[in-house]
Structure 1
Amino acid sequence: MLRSMITASNTLGQLQQQLDLIGNNMANIDTQGYKRTQTGFSDLLHQQMNNGDPHDSPDGRSTPLGVRSGTGAVLTAHTAFSQGGIKTTGRELDFALTKPGQFLQVEAGGEIQYTRDGALYLNPAQDGRLQLVTSEGHAVLDANQNPIFLDASFKNSTVSAGGRLTANPSGETVQLGIVGITQQTMLEKQGGNRYALKEIAPNGTVAFLEPEQVGIKQGALEMSNVDLSKEMTDLMIAQRSYQLNSKSITMGDQMLGLINSVR
């Protein structure tokens, strides 16, 4: 009974984490550029409990006598970077990345990070110019990883499919810092819809793209890739699994109570 209760309690903790991740996905269904977290389970180590001599096994049996007892399950989670739907907004400073694996470079916390959220804004800079920033105020970087500043006379802008921004009426142009991430498993979430490279990321993980390689659409935003019907299905399965393991602990506790009550 103790073994079954320990196994169930191990799994309950992992199921709770899955429920939290599913809830986070559902909460961000309308967050532009959000990438859902995909969850799954794998078995923890099994323990072999022999109850006989393997040499006495009947003919045809390929495994030794005994029982392989599991110790629970462990949650595996990774970010699914599939392309989200494109929503037309008509706003000049909204940009949707139309090719998967491409990210806009921003500066946050003194380091270069990456985002798929293309809702950009202009903030007044100390020198009288305007700085291109994200919705949270983080600096957007150009192809040379420098902050982007525009003339104070800015009225409107146009962006080519290759990511070249032209400000009117000054006519100044700048190439948005859009890069390709070759190994997206090397990205970890930082909050605020941003990602940073893991310290173990190998050289060459970030690929600097030529304009003809970039896919961008002005006046639109990439929405999240969360599928509500799938999240609801995963939520119900996780809840039933949670109930099953909870019931296993309850039954084990009741049987231990019966054993202890025997005189």
Structure 2
Amino acid sequence: MFNGLKIGTSGMRTAQKVMDNVADQIANADTNGYKKKEVNFSELLRNQMGENQVQLSENAQNASISIGSRAIYAKTNHTQGTVVGSESPFHLALEGRGYFGVVDPEGNLMLTRNGAFQKNGDSSITDEEGNLLSMETYLPQSQWGEESSISVSENGLISGRSQNGETLTLGRIILYTPGSSDQLISLGEGKYIPGNETPLLNSLDNPEGAYASVRQKALEKSNVDLVGSMTDMILTQRAYQVNAKSVTTADEMLEVINTIL
């Protein structure tokens, strides 16, 4: 009976963790560059079963019963999200494997797929949180001219036009490719840093590497399947209810046993 209580409560905890992950996916379904997390299940320790506990077949070998399960975050799914159009010349999307780099006020580099950048009053280009876009500039950003004349090529080259109509090379966006996306450490808000053993190539120091293509006036949406997440939510609710019912049943059986004794 006590094992029944343990199995039921572990199932409820597992369902709750899965539900938390599903809720996070649904809440971020429209977040630019968001990558969903995947949850796997692992079995807890197994208890050996003896003839004094349950009637066993003569052919039964190593009979045991699990004492429950638990949910663990396996990894972040870094597959490509849907790319949609935008009107801002500083809204950028990546197609293929790779990341933008953004630098926080302390000078720390972070990787992101969220390309919703903006030009500020001081001519700096940042994300919505004020982190600077990682790039090299060939001309001071205050001299870049009208936003409507700025174009970004597939390899991140930024161009503009002078007052005489001449094409000017203004700078280049630095793209990053980690050795393995599975080894990135999530900081939340769609930002990552590479693990200690993860090699990180960039298009400035390693131009021969393979990098994602940049699309201007576009944004990559999340890779969440909203319909699938809603289905997972319903299934998880049912699993929680089943485990809660097993706990109630085990409790009622213990109460009957105590009454008899």
TM-score in same-fold range (> 0.5): yes
The answer as to whether partners of 1:155 and 1:169 remain within 8 angstroms in 2 is no
Equivalents in 2 of 1:149, 1:73: separation in Å? Answer: 58
Aligned partner of 1:233 among 231, 234, 238: 231
| Match for residue 153 of structure 2 among 121, 142, 160 | 160
Letter in 1 for 2:17: Q
Partner of 1:72 in structure 2?
68
Q: From the superposition, tell whether residues 183 and 161 of structure 1 become closer, same or farther in structure 2 (CA, over 3 Å).
A: same
How far apart, in 1, do the equivalents of 2:258 and 2:140 lie?
A: 75
Provide closer, same or farther for how the CA distance between residues 192 and 213 of structure 1 changes in structure 2, counting only shifts above 3 A. Answer: closer
The partner residue of 1:175 within 169, 172, 176 is: 172
**What number of residue pairs does the alignment pair up?**
245
Q: In structure 2, give the amino acid aligned to 1:32.
A: N
Q: Give CA deviations for 1:96-153 in whole Å, capped at 9, x if unaligned.
A: 1011x3100111363211100011112234xxxx11100111111126xx9x961255
Change beyond 3 A, Cα 1:88–1:24: same
Matches of 2:57 and 2:41 in 1, distance apart?
Answer: 33
Aligned to 1:151, the other structure's residue is in SS state helix
Summarize the Cα distance change of 1:22–1:166 in structure 2 as closer, same or farther, 3 Å threshold: same
1:164-186 per-residue CA deviation (whole Å, 9 max, x = no partner) reads 11244483422212111221121
Note the residue ranges of structure 1 that are not aligned, 5 or more in a row: none
How far, CA to CA, are the matches of 2:232 and 2:19 in structure 1?
A: 9
| Amino acid in structure 1 at the alignment position of 2:154 | A
CA distance in 1, matches of 2:60, 2:124: 70
Tell me the TM-score normalised to structure 2 length.
0.85
CA deviation profile, 1:167-209 (whole Å, cap 9, x unmatched): 44483422212111221121232122211223xx3142x1223
Pairwise CA RMSD of aligned residues? 2.4
Q: How does 1:181-200 map to 2 (within 5 A)?
A: 181-198=178-195
Counterpart of 1:251 (choices 225, 249, 253) is 249
Partner of 1:120: 117
Matches within 5 A, 1:206-245: 206-209=200-203, 210=207, 213-245=211-243
For residue 207 of structure 1, give the secondary structure of its aligned residue in structure 2: strand
SS at match of 2:124: strand
Structure 1 pair 57/262, CA: closer, same or farther in 2 (3 Å)?
Answer: closer
CA distance in 2, matches of 1:135, 1:91: 14
Show structure 2 runs of 5+ residues with no match: none
